[in-house]
Amino acid sequence: MNAHALIIGNNDYALERDRLKNAVNDADDFATRLQTLGFTVSKLTNVTGEQFDRAVTKFGTDLKKYQVGLFYFSGHGLQIDGVNYLAPTDTSFADDISAKHTAYQLDRVIDYMNRANPAIRILILDACRDNPLPSQYRGNQPIGLAPIFAPKGTLIAFSTSPGEKAMDYGAGRNSIYTGSLLNHINDVNIPIEEFFKRVRTSVYTLSGGKQTSWEHTSLIGTFYFNSKDLLHSVELPYRRNVIADGEWMSEGKPVDQIIEDLKSYTWDTQKSAIGKIRHLNLKTLDDSDRFLLGRNILQTALGNEFSARHIMENLPTWLASFQQGKENHVLNGMLYETFFDSEGRLREDYFKAGFLDQLYQLQSDQRYITSIEFIRQQLQQFPERALYLPGQPPPVLAIDAVIERFEVPGFGDQLDTYFRLRSVKHENQELLHPTARDNSEQVRLNEFKEKLGEQLGVPLAYLRLSTNIPEVELKRLDIPWRMRLSRDPPLGTEKDADF
């Protein structure tokens, strides 16, 4: 099962009185959490009406590929004449008529989701905060959003019951409602109805009984946020148990025995398995067999078994025998293993980039261009983490690192010079998000570059690193011990932390 979410959070409304404190934090943190659970996430913050409209329209188109769709909004929401509206940042709150014609009608989101027709549709609205309309226009409009009918297969969750106001604070950097969502969403194998009941209990308790979340559902069947059933991957022509290959079990076929031996982590057994590959009857292998074989050859090579490393170092010629027209499913498996884990989800911390140079050298080989497009399609769903997307001609990823030079007393009257990483940017966007809890480690410059490749999914051949201090001076460099690079900071990161 795969799932796609559109997350929108708005703080920066035009007038100071209408601005919110935590709506963007809520969107950031909820998006991060959904992605770790297997959702493919599109997130926008502080969007105008035009941007809101484009995002929902695209969401409706993209959602046709998925079995689960989720829409989340944090920001101002209001009802006018019984109709619910979500407020982009350029909504006019001069009066109810202006608001109605500049806000985004919630029914349009529902209509787009219905047209896409995923099996499960979820809308979560943390959007009943202070009413932004001037007081003379509030009298005829009830507080908060209006109750709404949930079409078949849909659950609509509100941060408050009808007639209540939601709090924009109360759970640290989050609202009480989104804070409660985050607190319970990792609970394993909890049906979605029970999940929202737990959220409701927390919201009621933490608000001192002033706020009660509310849902309307017509879901058919059962859905769990955390069941390990969600895959990040979209439209893969392979069996589920080779996409989430932690579920794979041998069926006793010759290729299965080879794969079992490659998984043994014993070099002699792995070497024997690699030798048996040349004797396989390739006509008996289906696409999924080839895909899983590729995943395990890469894994074996990364474990330093010599025969598998030899394959990876001679890919253009070795892969040729597995080519089927424009398709090479063995290569697809190698590329997929680099970026996705045994649950079919994007790797959270480091990509398996040990042979990324060898794999991406195939960008310029016309025989394998379909495989390069295959992994590009998978990675482009994750712009926060996968900054490098292969293609033709092979692109270059430019990274700027700001390094601080400092001196400490050494032996006698000498001062020893050290260097500390302060910033890592791509297109002027900060990627380094250390926390106050991070220790540091010293690495050589080439090790630092390797870590950049592992984090960003970029082969060293196509990484262009610029530093404010000449590289010849950078013998060793202090970096955060658990350095994490992403366009978005991880949940709870202290952006200004030292290390």
Is 170 part of any domain?
A: yes
Residue with the larger pLDDT of the pair 329 and 98: 329
Rg, C-alpha atoms of the chain: 26
Is 499 part of any domain?
A: no
Of the candidates 202, 217, 232, which is a domain's last residue? 217
Q: Is the pLDDT of residue 70 over 50?
A: yes
Domain count, the chain: 3
Cα distances (Å, whole numbers) of residue 383 to 254, 336, 378, 499: 39, 17, 11, 27
Q: What is the mean pLDDT of residues 351-366?
A: 95
Return the SS3 of 74: strand
Closest CA to 101 of 92, 109, 110: 92
Of the candidates 318, 344, 379, which is a domain's last residue? 379
pLDDT band at 256 (very low <50, low <70, confident <90, very high): very high
pLDDT for 496: 44
Q: What is the mean pLDDT of residues 171-177?
A: 84
Is 490 part of any domain?
A: no
Residue 7 and residue 76 share a domain = yes
Is 386 part of any domain?
A: no
Q: What is the mean pLDDT of residues 73-85?
A: 89
Is 405 part of any domain?
A: yes
pLDDT for 99: 87
Residue 245 and residue 199 share a domain = no
pLDDT band at 477 (very low <50, low <70, confident <90, very high): very high
Average pLDDT, whole number, for the chain?
Answer: 89
Residue 297 and residue 206 share a domain = no
Please give the residue range of the domain that contains residue 23: 3-217
Residue 362 and residue 265 share a domain = yes
Distance CA 188, CA 318 (A): 43
What pTM was estimated for this model as a whole? Answer: 0.77
pLDDT band at 490 (very low <50, low <70, confident <90, very high): low
Q: According to the per-residue pLDDT averaged within each range, which of 18-22, 256-260, 418-422 is highest?
A: 256-260
Instruction: Specify whether the CB–CB gap between 40 and 104 falls below 8 A.
Output: no
pLDDT for 403: 95
Two tokens, residue 167: 């709090």
Residue 270 and residue 146 share a domain = no
Residue 275 and residue 205 share a domain = no
| Region of poorest pLDDT, from 17-26, 322-331, 358-367, 481-490 | 481-490
Residue 182 and residue 85 share a domain = yes
Residue with the larger pLDDT of the pair 218 and 230: 218
pLDDT for 475: 86
Two tokens, residue 463: 């990484």
pLDDT band at 495 (very low <50, low <70, confident <90, very high): very low
Residue 250 and residue 337 share a domain = yes
Alpha-carbon torsion, ordered 352, 358, 362, 363, to 10 deg? 60
Residue 299 and residue 428 share a domain = no
Instruction: Tell me the CATH number at 125.
Output: 3.40.50.1460
Ordered DSSP codes for 382-446: -TTT------SSPP-EEEEEEEEEEEEE-STT-EEEEEEEEEEEETTEE-B---TT--EEEE-HH
Instruction: Specify whether the CB–CB gap between 154 and 121 falls below 8 A.
Output: yes
Residue 464 and residue 345 share a domain = no
Of the candidates 186, 217, 248, which is a domain's last residue? 217
Residue 251 and residue 150 share a domain = no
Is 140 part of any domain?
A: yes
Residue 244 and residue 190 share a domain = no
pLDDT for 211: 87
pLDDT band at 136 (very low <50, low <70, confident <90, very high): very low
Is 388 part of any domain?
A: no
